[in-house]
Structure 1
């Protein structure tokens, strides 16, 4: 058998959002290079801030009334910064060589420093440097703890299931039509104009937690048998042929999953479903936001909100030419849509067959690869000669199934 490629094996698990499976200390290695995708996204934000300052002469975006051509271009930069940053992070994540990842991370660091000097949220360079340093520190900590691996997997999983998300949107049309009636309701707009953004976030978080708890608890029974005994299937050898675990033989008596691994498995299944439902809910909210921009005029807004609504909106410290009641109404409708879709995902057999069952099958295959990974690590440990004066090397006893995972 060939010598196992530990880096390739551990990267395989990290790409699939299971950092708890890899060896102790493996997460602390190559942290800078593994942080390159997140640093690429931050570099895009820094480059965007340079463009904003160069066009507007200000470090904040303050657009109200009828935007000029330049302000329209600034709005386009605001809309495109997140998709472009996501694309940059995805492209960098496809780099396999550790050295090339380090080079990409260094290039991103240069762009971030330039953003602090010529752009940034503050006119003071020192403040921008401190904020960027804190952000980079958070990225490195997330990478070293495995949180970044889980977030990266969740983003890739959501993007890969956009076709299924469109199908869920079609099946959710009844609630969309009902929400349409709620959208053109005077009392809803009056409440959106009066309630504070802090109270609205508390209400949305409350609804989100209820729906997420319902969605997670309903899938625990389907996940538990896989966690207890991820038995190999007949086609696993073919499905693992192109992976670092292709030449490792399945052996009985593998180490049971630790508590951290169990929590990791449950989290990625729950995060996958929540992300899928949230994607459809956000798409629904975006449709209503665009609809409101088309039909809600200042006189109509004044009539619905009884003069309490502002014609400009405040988002992430920016002032945009979007009515604030429209933003708050869209947020409420998005939360309601999320709750409905979370309940429907649990009872919809078509959703389970198209999304949940393949997800659980991939999870079972990943745990089979995990058992092979642990078996190979155990064999390499027992095969290593012990330090001593004896000329005959001794073999350390093999771990039992009850031993804690390394």
Structure 2
């Protein structure tokens, strides 16, 4: 097979979120250049958050905000420049892409810390932390995290109609949570719960939901490999792909390696997790708006039995990753807590809901079946080269 054809095969697996099917040699190519957009995206989010935190603080430092804003713009523009250089596919453009990737890494590791803290020991310590984050981004690029996330996001976005249907079926849950939302004990808990403890609680509930989803999907993948009766004719599945095979010729099926099993389960878990996050964010926005409209400041103080920032003044304003928001902190905590509980219920209920399986899960299984058929054909092709 020609080099251009092999590139099409590699791109096909990457677009389908199965990078760990490819050999280590393929995944190791141009790691710094490929990981630069992820680093740039993380840096842009951090810089924008820091800019908003500075501007909404009690004593804004407009000079620092301006420096961070410039860094944000540069980091936002970097992925587009890297993509344009990659599309050019010339020797000069590849050299420019490599230089631009190194510049992005330098801005992330050194630019953000020194723009924030100046030339100091604190900035050096922050630079070390940012360097570790950059190395983590390079490792995630090597294992194909970006490919998995992009495929899962594309699939989940296509299936947003199923999410709307499931949200409508979750209306009874929403009515129950509305009643729970107006419970004084919940507001007292939220008022006394620190943001750190709240995130720890959210993390615990998220791990429970993740373990449930992983267990369910792992069983589905195992059943898919064991029974290939209807969905699994390689000649039909691979029509129009770079790995098309002749009718009646089925590539040898081998057991999935541990990395491949993790990869297949990961793309399915992430695609479902994206829908759960969409649902949870929607519920959070709903209860945040409900708290602003329906709960006066004096009632929020009464329910939560907390003291306001000053006598005769409304409750303390909330914060979101250091950014001050015009919503009482207790309302933020209660809304987030109820939304996460609703998301946990949504995760469990969708796994057994027949309509959800028909609208979302079965198309996902069918898509993964195509990927696994391509994987068998690719491995057979690699052994004969």
Counterparts of 2:112 and 2:216, CA distance in 1: 50
* Correspondent of 2:339 among 334, 343, 350: 334
CA contact (8 A) 2:234 2:250 kept: no
The CA deviation at 1:157 is 3.4
Question: Could you tell me which residue of structure 1 aligns to residue 312 of structure 2?
Answer: none
Q: Secondary structure, in 3 states, of the residue corresponding to 2:319?
A: strand
Report the equivalent of 1:60: 54
How far apart are the structure 2 equivalents of 1:93 and 1:350? 40
Q: Where do 1:295-306 residues align within 5 Å? A: 295-306=294-305
- 8 A Cα contact 1:154 1:272, kept in partner: yes
Query: Alignment length, in residue pairs?
Result: 358
Where do residues 339-378 of structure 1 align in structure 2 (5 Å cutoff)?
339-378=344-383
Compared CA separation, residues 147 and 107, structure 1 to 2 (3 A): same
Asked whether 1:44 is paired with 2:71, we answer no
SS at structure 2 position matched to 1:364: helix
**CA positional deviation for 1:4:** 6.4
Do the aligned residues in 2 keep the contact of 1:194 with 1:308 (CA within 8 Å)?
A: no
Q: Distance in 1 between matches of 2:81 and 2:344?
A: 33
Q: Does 1:246 align with 2:225?
A: no
* Counterpart check, 1:289 vs 2:294: no
- The structure whose residues are more often helix, as a share, is 2
In structure 2, distance between residues paired with 1:198 and 1:118: 24
Residues 101 and 153 of structure 1: CA distance in aligned 2, closer, same or farther (over 3 Å): farther
Cα distance, 1:219 vs structure 2: 3.7
Question: Which whole-Å CA distance do the structure 2 matches of 1:129 and 1:198 have between them?
Answer: 24
3-state secondary structure, aligned to 1:5? helix
Please identify, of 305-314 and 98-107, the stretch whose mean Cα deviation from structure 2 is larger.
Answer: 98-107
Report 1:7-406 matches (<5 A). 7-42=7-42, 44-45=44-45, 48=48, 52=51, 60-63=54-57, 103=96, 107=100, 110=103, 117=111, 122-124=116-118, 127=123, 129-228=127-226, 231-233=232-234, 235-238=236-239, 241=240, 243-246=241-244, 250-308=249-307, 310-380=315-385
Q: 1:282 to 1:260 in 2, by over 3 A?
A: same
Contact 1:112 1:132 (C-alpha < 8 Å) held by counterparts: no
Deviations 1:353-394 (A, max 9, x none): 1110010001010011111111111111xxxxxxxxxxxxxx
Q: 1:146 to 1:109 in 2, by over 3 A?
A: same
Task: For residue 199 of structure 1, report the CA deviation from its aligned partner.
Answer: 2.7
1:83-108: per-residue Cα shift (whole Å, max 9, x none)?
A: x96x9969977976666687567557
Asked if 2 retains the 8 angstrom alpha-carbon contact of 1:49 and 1:119, the reply is no
Q: Contact 2:252–2:376 (CA<8 Å) still a contact in 1? A: no
Counterpart-to-counterpart distance in 2, 1:162 and 1:103: 39
Unmatched runs of 5 consecutive residues or more in structure 1: 381-406
Distance in 1 (alpha carbons) for counterparts of 2:16 and 2:83: 13
Question: Within 1, Cα distance between the matches of 2:57 and 2:45?
Answer: 19
Q: Secondary structure at the match of 1:35?
A: helix
Deviates more, 1:356-365 or 1:113-122: 113-122
Q: TM-score by structure 1 length?
A: 0.74
Q: CA deviation at 1:234?
A: 5.5
Cα deviation, 1:269-294, whole Å, max 9, x if unaligned, reads: 22222222222122111221233233
Check conservation: 1:190, 1:305, Cα contact below 8 A.
Answer: yes
Q: Deviations over 1:237-288 (max 9, x none)?
A: 43xx1x3223678544243321221222122222222222222122111221
Query: In the TM superposition, what is the alpha-carbon distance from 1:46 to its structure 2 partner?
Result: 6.5
SS state at 1:60 partner: helix
**Is contact 2:318-2:324 (8 Å) kept?**
yes
| TM-score, length of structure 2 as denominator length | 0.77
1:189: Cα distance to partner?
A: 0.9
What's the CA shift for 1:192? 0.3
* Contact kept in structure 2, 1:186 and 1:305, CA below 8 Å: yes
Name the CA distance, whole Å, in 2 between partners of 1:160 and 1:105: 34
Tell me, yes or no, if the aligned pair for 1:63 and 1:321 is still in contact at 8 Å: no
| Contact 1:254/1:371 (<8 A) preserved | yes
Select between 149-158 and 115-124 the one with higher mean Cα deviation: 115-124
CA contact (8 A) 2:15 2:147 kept: yes
Aligned partner of 1:384 in structure 2 is none
Does 92-101 or 360-369 show the bigger shift? 92-101
Conserved 8 A contact 1:5-1:244:
yes
CA distance in 1, matches of 2:43, 2:101: 5
